[in-house]
Amino acid sequence: MTTRHDPPILSDVVNYQQRLDRTFAALVDPTRRAILAQLERKNSASVGELAEPFAIKLPAVMKHLDVLAEAGLITRTKSGRTVTVRLRHQPIREAMAWLSHYERFWSGGLDRLAASAELKEAESRSKVG
């Protein structure tokens, strides 16, 4: 019986895609984005500090933190009874690199759309004036 092994490069691509999927899925929720924004400003915070501005209970905040941790966007360390959360930048860097790669496809279209809208606006002003 033989065992199939994927080539390392294919495995790297699959892992990269899975990391991107987890990152973007985590970023969909506004509460999780707000938690990341807090961490970006503070560098680190306790779970209680992160939960403070939200009108949701601590267990709900903990679930959001679990999603962020699974996506690799945060790390948690425990010292005594205090859990400290820190932001991890690497997943965001990977997502930004992916987005910037595809930016060339939509930026040209957006530029053409803006130019078309400006032309139509100028034409309508010249008809009125």
Alpha-carbon span 10 to 41, nearest angstrom = 37
| pTM tops 0.85, yes or no | no
pLDDT, one tens digit per residue, over 35-45 is 999 999 998 99
The pLDDT of residue 49 is 96
For helices 58-70 and 30-42, angle between their N-to-C axes, nearest 10 degrees: 80
- How high is the pLDDT of residue 98? 87
User: What's the CATH class of domain 8-92?
Assistant: mainly alpha
The one-letter code for the residue type at 128 is V
3-state SS assignment for residue 85: strand
* Tens-digit pLDDT string for the chain (129 aa): 555 555 666 566 678 889 999 999 999 999 999 999 999 999 899 999 999 999 999 999 999 999 999 999 999 999 999 999 999 999 999 999 988 887 777 767 667 777 888 888 888 777 765
Phi and psi dihedrals of 99, rounded to 5? -65, -45
What is the CA angle 114-120-122, rounded to 5?
100
